Amino acid sequence: MIDLQHISKSYGTGEGAYEALRDVSFRVEDGEFVAIMGPSGSGKSTLMHIIGALDTPTSGTYTLDGKDVSTLSDDELADIRREHIGFVFQSFNLLPRTTVLRNVMLPLVYEGVEGKERNARARKALLSVGLDETHFTHLSNQLSGGQIQRVAIARALVNDPTLILADEPTGNLDTKTGEIVLETFQRLNRDEGRTIIIITHEQEVAEHADRIVYIRDGKIAEVERTHKQ
């Protein structure tokens, strides 16, 4: 489903040029749970932007679901993001004075989905991440951090994307709450076959995935299978 071949990304020109990624190649199959791990400045954020169709490489090819993403225009990249990718961020990015249900429905409003179907799809997404129906009418700022992040995951699911891309999804959570959120990703992967990529700098987070891609100095340093059952 995801195939990156010889991806490089440079910023600037001449002597001031900076090469953030250098000849990165790897594949992610349908239904895999993969962690991309590296320290600050390793290139993992740049790689996330390319996988998420937020940016294009300087050289190399990136294929998502059989489509070459690496040469698309900004409008075409926006279509890829809307149709194929669900994003989960460290900062949640929910509207604070809006109900949980409306927060999850918002992407469907932009898509022009009819009201009854919006409601049904949002409810299904919220139930799939383990949020109780009693919370659906709460405002997002009335929830705990773990509940808020699960709402954010539900919002990422509501368009039924091919890929869930999570950037440091437990970064603002305590250890116990972070574990609940990571178990949510594991369940979505195991029970629904969702393809999930997590970007992290924490080994404990990465080990929830099936495979870890370590990146350092813009290159893949190592790829390993975890011992996750």
pLDDT tens-digit readout, 59-79: 999 999 989 998 889 999 999
Would you state the structure tokens that stand for residue 61, as one six-digit string?
């090819």
Q: What is the CA radius of gyration of the chain?
A: 18
The rounded distance, in Å, linking the Cα atoms of 168 and 178 is 10
**pLDDT tens for residues 156-197?**
999 999 899 999 999 888 899 899 999 999 999 999 999 999
Give the per-residue pLDDT at 228: 63
pLDDT at 37: 95
What pLDDT, on the 0 to 100 scale, is given for residue 90? 84
Dist. CA 205–CA 50, nearest whole Å: 22
Domain residue spans of the chain: 2-225
User: What is the spatial distance between Cα 21 and Cα 23, in angstroms, rounded to a whole number?
Assistant: 7
Decide: helix, strand or coil at residue 40.
Answer: coil
- pLDDT, averaged per 10 consecutive residues of the chain (229 residues), comes to 95 85 96 95 93 94 92 90 90 88 92 92 94 93 90 93 93 89 92 94 94 96 81
Fold of 2-225: Rossmann fold (3.40.50)
Of 68, 70, 48, the closest CA to residue 58 belongs to: 70
Q: What is the DSSP secondary structure assignment for residue 209, as one 8-state letter?
A: S
Any idea of the CA torsion for 99, 100, 104, 110, to the nearest 10 degrees?
10
Q: Is the CB of residue 45 less than 8 Å from the CB of residue 208?
A: no
